[in-house]
């Protein structure tokens, strides 16, 4: 029998598992502190700074240079294994040999306006990434896409819908981009006070959004206003507040200097103003561009020197930074300059627990069974549902009710189109490969198993000839409804692609119009007299003015990930009310757009576009009706240092439970050269029919500031209009069926 005192201790430990864990960790540290190590950097009891300084001091010049390539060799004499910095997790762990959960494409996740789900997605993604990393280490597999440094998220502003990589972003708005990006970074990197679960990387810094064909050569020179008002806010948020571990500098030049060697971007802003302590990687081959395409330096040695002195720590590539050895020997930079970068790089690896025993790093114990867990799959479905944007829902041929949702008792359904049974489109780009992808065709068949479902691809995405639809159209005479799943594909839009076909070139789009073959086919479908549902898959805004006027139901399903088919079926047949909102403006035609290579924000995005859009930013319909009323402000007249609370009542006056995305916009009515509208808050809520909820926003002085012509953030006296509603507070939104926003006004004295 144990003595009484020992029994008390045992009982205390059993009642307090945290105390037990604390004692275990303390004991583990004590054991490691007493252990004999060959080198101080191996001792986990020492501070990370002390360990990093010791390690770097032991490296030769050649070893140092090789550790600044993305694929680093082992340093066997010190027991340091190889490591490749390059990994991807845009919407789930990507490009790995293991099956992983594939969430909707980034632009689709932005359409959810759901920061809670986005943070959970980042958390689940790094769980799977850790599981793969842990298994790879066990197998001594140090190949690319096994590491923990993910070059994600892409927080460039999607300023022009023709940019093929816009699908990788969170849309056109700085506030939404910063909010969604922050949630992802916090989820991915974890909350442990000592260890990173994974390291996120904000890219591409900065002012980078196409064209793809000139990204290695163009030199952009935007106004200070546009720089600080549009292009930098999301980067500032992720660096200063979200504490992102890494930043990737862009290919292009800014004010005559490559972004990876920019005095203003890299030194003045990133390191000095924002006090960034993490690591910077170049985009892949960007240091080569210094002398090969920008032609600002005579050779690799000078280019590498300039990049390092500007704070680019890793070259994604394997050539230019090898010349750093000779650059030091020639006196162009010192070994201490290289040490600055090496210390940043090894600090990240130590923070990831790569040099500590597995028993000390809880993330190092995540097993491979974590991949594609049911919780992860459930979240992929939830986010796919929340991303779907209902653009139009009208009665068919004089009927009383809107066409959607469809009845589950339909007997004959035609599912047509190039994206109806296309798993590749759903997965977007920078994607993983899940074990199972549910297409729209499969989702519909599962949802209505007793229906006769006819399928035909019907059209290609693009056609250079006039197809003959007559035979197919004749076969549709007995169908109760026709569902056409078209749009475009990540095989047409994306990063620097070898694609040259009508409407697409090099990864970008030469026109935002829906490819003409699809519009012509939809015209033929309308002529059948059957109800037609048009489901679009796309990573960017499409111009569909004819469809908006003539097709009763139009749905934007983006590239919805592994569960897109089930999500679309849930929405079509009324098991889920659509609640996604557009993170970009949908324009009427190419004529609405300034030149693609013009980086001025004049007449771009909802914030500065003076025309009437086809579908506004923030827009999306539900299967129910929401009413906004009784907007109350804590104050209507304030001084410049005061905060205002805004409260609005949101009521579901319809017949179906639904989520609603409540959006807060500010308009500075008396200021010049400021956005027409600015999104400053949003909350996703869920309401049952006949119920209401009071939603509050806190409007701080920082939220009420604007950027002046010098790029400074200022708070001016004058009137600020406040709109809270379910879409951009424009007349076009109301015309399309969005609820009328509640409006109030603040006077800043």
Instruction: Spell out where 17-116 has E strands.
Output: 71-72, 83-84
Sign (positive or negative) of CA dihedral 586, 588, 589, 590: negative
Residue 81's pLDDT is 97
Question: Is 448 buried (19+), middle (13-18) or exposed (0-12) by CB count in 10 A?
Answer: buried
Q: In the chain, what are the helix, strand and coil shares in percent, each to the nearest 5?
A: 35, 20, 45
Q: Which two tokens stand for residue 435?
A: 């074990």
Q: Provide long-range contacts, Cβ within 8 A and 24+ apart, for 709-713.
A: 709/223, 709/224, 709/225, 709/673, 710/224, 710/225, 711/223, 711/224, 711/225, 711/227, 711/228, 711/229, 712/228, 713/228
Q: How far apart are the first and last CA of the chain?
A: 77
The percent of residues above 70 in pLDDT, for the chain, comes to: 95
Q: Is the peptide bond before 204 cis (omega within 30 degrees of 0)?
A: yes
Q: Which two tokens stand for residue 377?
A: 């799959």
Residue 493's pLDDT is 98
CA distance 5 to 12: 11
Q: Mean pLDDT, to the nearest integer, of 559-574?
A: 98
Residue 15's pLDDT is 53
CA distance 105 to 126: 17
Which residues, 6 or more positions from 194, have their beta carbon under 8 angstroms from its beta carbon? 351
Q: Is the peptide bond before 206 cis (omega within 30 degrees of 0)?
A: yes
Q: Which two tokens stand for residue 436?
A: 């199972």
The percent of residues above 90 in pLDDT, for the chain, comes to: 93
CA distance 553 to 375: 32
**With b meaning 16 or more CB within 10 Å and e meaning fewer, what string describes 60-94?**
eeebbbbbbbbbbeebeeeebeebbbbbbbbbbbb
Mean pLDDT of the chain: 95
Reference 434, options 87, 92, 90, 86; nearest CA is 92
Contact 284, 239 (CB under 8 A): no
495 annotated active-site? no
Please write the tens of the pLDDT for every residue from 90-137: 999 999 999 999 999 999 999 999 999 999 999 999 999 999 999 999
Q: Mean pLDDT, to the nearest integer, of 643-660?
A: 98
Residue 396's pLDDT is 95
Q: Is the peptide bond before 405 cis (omega within 30 degrees of 0)?
A: yes
DSSP-based three-state secondary structure for 300: helix
CA dihedral 679, 241, 377, 663 (to 10 degrees): -10
Give the pLDDT band of residue 16 (cuts 50, 70, 90): low
Which residues, 6 or more positions from 617, have their beta carbon under 8 angstroms from its beta carbon? 171, 172, 173, 582, 583, 584, 585, 605, 606, 679, 728
CA dihedral 522, 524, 525, 526 (to 10 degrees): 90
Q: Mean pLDDT, to the nearest integer, of 725-739?
A: 98
Sign (positive or negative) of CA dihedral 558, 560, 565, 571: negative
Residue with tokens 């070139």: 505
Q: Mean pLDDT, to the nearest integer, of 680-688?
A: 98
Please write the tens of the pLDDT for every residue from 149-160: 999 999 999 999
Report which secondary-structure segment, H or E, holds 748.
strand 742-748
Residue 464's pLDDT is 87
Asked whether residue 27 carries a pLDDT value surpassing 90, the answer given is: no
Q: Mean pLDDT, to the nearest integer, of 450-461?
A: 97
CA dihedral 220, 224, 227, 228 (to 10 degrees): 170
Contact 675, 607 (CB under 8 A): yes
Contact 265, 315 (CB under 8 A): no
- What is the architecture of the domain spanning 388-584? 3-Layer(aba) Sandwich (3.40)
Report which secondary-structure segment, H or E, holds 401.
none
Reference 205, options 142, 274, 146; nearest CA is 274
Q: Is the peptide bond before 211 cis (omega within 30 degrees of 0)?
A: yes
- The whole-angstrom distance between residue 541's C-alpha and the CA centroid of its chain comes to 16
Position with higher pLDDT, 229 vs 16:
229
Strand-pairing partners, residue 714, are 706
Q: Which two tokens stand for residue 557?
A: 């399903």
Give the pLDDT band of residue 329 (cuts 50, 70, 90): very high
Reference 538, options 490, 608, 601; nearest CA is 490
Contact 109, 152 (CB under 8 A): no
CA distance 377 to 7: 45
Give the pLDDT band of residue 23 (cuts 50, 70, 90): very low
Reference 528, options 497, 550, 503; nearest CA is 550
CA distance 410 to 482: 11
493 annotated active-site? yes
DSSP 641: T
Q: Which superfamily, per CATH, for 626-748?
A: Immunoglobulins (2.60.40.10)
- The whole-angstrom distance between residue 447's C-alpha and the CA centroid of its chain comes to 30
CA distance 16 to 19: 5
Q: Which two tokens stand for residue 596?
A: 């693609």
Reference 567, options 216, 1, 147, 104; nearest CA is 104
Give the pLDDT band of residue 1 (cuts 50, 70, 90): very low
DSSP-based three-state secondary structure for 427: coil
Report which secondary-structure segment, H or E, holds 417.
none
Residue 494's pLDDT is 98
Give the pLDDT band of residue 466 (cuts 50, 70, 90): confident
Reference 663, options 681, 641, 690, 643; nearest CA is 681
Q: Which of 173, 288, 479, 493 is catalytic?
A: 493
In degrees, rounded to 5, the angle at the alpha carbon of residue 590 between the alpha carbons of residues 589 and 595 is 150
Contact 744, 257 (CB under 8 A): no
Please write the tens of the pLDDT for every residue from 53-63: 999 999 999 99
Q: Mean pLDDT, to the nearest integer, of 648-653?
A: 98
Q: Mean pLDDT, to the nearest integer, of 669-686?
A: 94
Sign (positive or negative) of CA dihedral 275, 277, 283, 287: positive
CA distance 465 to 460: 11
Q: Which of 128, 173, 283, 547 is catalytic?
A: 283
Asked whether residue 21 carries a pLDDT value surpassing 50, the answer given is: no
CA dihedral 578, 581, 584, 585 (to 10 degrees): 80
Exposure of 515 in the CB half-sphere (CA atoms within 13 A)? 26
Residue 318's pLDDT is 86
Please write the tens of the pLDDT for every residue from 585-629: 999 999 999 999 999 999 999 999 999 999 999 999 999 999 999
DSSP-based three-state secondary structure for 644: strand
Asked whether residue 10 carries a pLDDT value surpassing 70, the answer given is: no
Residue 263's pLDDT is 98
CATH of region 36-367, choose from 3.40.50.12780, 3.40.50.300, 3.20.20.300, 3.40.50.720: 3.20.20.300
Sign (positive or negative) of CA dihedral 346, 349, 355, 360: positive
């Amino acid at each position: 029998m144990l003595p009484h005192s020992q029994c008390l201790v045992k009982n205390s430990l059993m009642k307090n598992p945290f105390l037990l864990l604390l004692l275990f960790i303390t004991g583990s540290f004590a054991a490691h502190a007493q252990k004999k190590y060959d080198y101080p950097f191996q001792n986990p009891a020492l501070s990370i700074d002390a360990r990093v300084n010791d390690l770097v001091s032991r490296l030769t010049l050649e070893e140092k240079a090789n550790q600044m390539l993305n694929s680093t060799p082992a340093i066997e004499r010190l027991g340091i294994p190889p490591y490749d910095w390059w990994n991807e997790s845009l919407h789930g762990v990507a490009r790995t040999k293991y099956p992983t959960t594939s969430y909707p494409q980034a632009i689709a996740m932005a359409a959810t306006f759901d920061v809670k789900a986005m943070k959970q997605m980042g958390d689940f993604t790094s769980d799977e990434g850790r599981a793969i990393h842990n298994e790879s280490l066990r197998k001594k597999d140090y190949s690319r896409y096994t590491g923990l440094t993910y070059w994600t998220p892409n927080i460039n502003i999607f300023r022009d819908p023709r940019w093929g990589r816009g699908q990788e972003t969170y849309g056109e708005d700085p506030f939404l981009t910063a909010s969604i990006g922050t949630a992802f970074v916090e989820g991915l990197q974890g909350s442990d006070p000592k260890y990173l679960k994974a390291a996120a990387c904000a890219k591409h810094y900065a002012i980078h959004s196409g064209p793809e064909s000139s990204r290695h050569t163009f030199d952009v020179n935007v106004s200070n206003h546009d720089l600080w008002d549009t292009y930098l806010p999301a980067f500032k948020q992720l660096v200063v507040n979200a504490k992102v571990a890494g930043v990737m500098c862009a290919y292009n030049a800014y004010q005559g200097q490559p972004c990876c060697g920019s005095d203003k971007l890299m030194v003045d802003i990133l390191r000095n103003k924002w006090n960034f302590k993490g690591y910077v990687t170049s985009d892949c081959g960007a240091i080569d561009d210094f002398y090969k395409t920008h032609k600002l330096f005579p050779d690799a040695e000078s280019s590498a020197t300039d990049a390092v002195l500007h704070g680019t720590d890793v070259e994604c590539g394997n050539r230019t930074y090898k010349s750093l050895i000779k650059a030091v020997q020639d006196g162009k930079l010192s070994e201490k300059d290289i040490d600055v970068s090496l210390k940043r790089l090894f600090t990240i690896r130590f923070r990831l627990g790569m040099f500590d025993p597995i028993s000390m790093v809880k993330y190092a114990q995540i097993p491979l069974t974590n991949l594609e867990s049911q919780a992860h799959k459930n979240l992929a479905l939830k986010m796919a549902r929340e991303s779907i944007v209902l653009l139009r829902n009208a009665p068919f041929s004089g009927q009383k009710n809107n066409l959607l949702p469809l009845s589950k008792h339909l007997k004959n359904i035609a599912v047509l189109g190039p994206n109806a049974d296309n798993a590749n489109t759903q997965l977007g780009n920078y994607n993983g490969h899940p074990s199972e992808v549910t297409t729209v065709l499969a989702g519909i068949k599962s949802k209505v198993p007793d229906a006769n479902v006819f399928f035909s691809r019907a059209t290609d995405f693009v056609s250079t000839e006039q197809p003959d639809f007559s035979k197919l159209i004749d076969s549709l005479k007995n169908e109760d409804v026709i569902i056409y799943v078209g749009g475009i594909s990540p095989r047409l839009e994306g990063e620097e692609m070898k694609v040259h076909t009508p409407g697409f070139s090099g990864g970008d789009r030469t026109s935002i119009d829906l490819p003409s073959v699809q519009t012509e086919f939809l015209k033929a479908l309308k002529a059948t007299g059957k109800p037609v549902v048009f489901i679009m898959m796309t990573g960017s805004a499409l111009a569909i003015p004819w469809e908006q006027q003539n097709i009763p139901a139009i749905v934007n399903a983006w590239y919805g990930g592994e569960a897109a088919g089930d999500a679309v079926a849930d929405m079509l047949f009324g098991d889920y009310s659509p609640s996604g909102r557009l993170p970009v403006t949908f324009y009427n035609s190419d004529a609405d757009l300034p030149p693609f290579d013009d980086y001025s924000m004049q007449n771009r995005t909802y914030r500065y576009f003076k025309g009437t859009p086809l579908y506004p930013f923030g827009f999306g319909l539900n299967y129910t009706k929401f009413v906004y009323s009784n907007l109350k402000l804590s104050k209507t007249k304030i001084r410049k240092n005061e905060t205002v609370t805004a409260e609005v009542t949101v009521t579901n006056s319809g017949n179906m439970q639904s989520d609603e995305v409540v959006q807060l916009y500010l308009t500075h009515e008396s200021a010049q050269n400021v956005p027409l509208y600015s999104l400053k808050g949003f909350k996703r809520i869920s309401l049952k029919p006949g119920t209401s909820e009071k939603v509050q926003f806190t409007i701080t002085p920082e939220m009420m500031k604007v950027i002046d012509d010098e790029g400074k953030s200022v708070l001016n006296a004058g009137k600020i209009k406040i709109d809270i509603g379910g879409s951009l507070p424009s007349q076009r939104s109301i015309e399309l069926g969005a609820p009328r926003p509640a409006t109030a006004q603040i006077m800043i004295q």
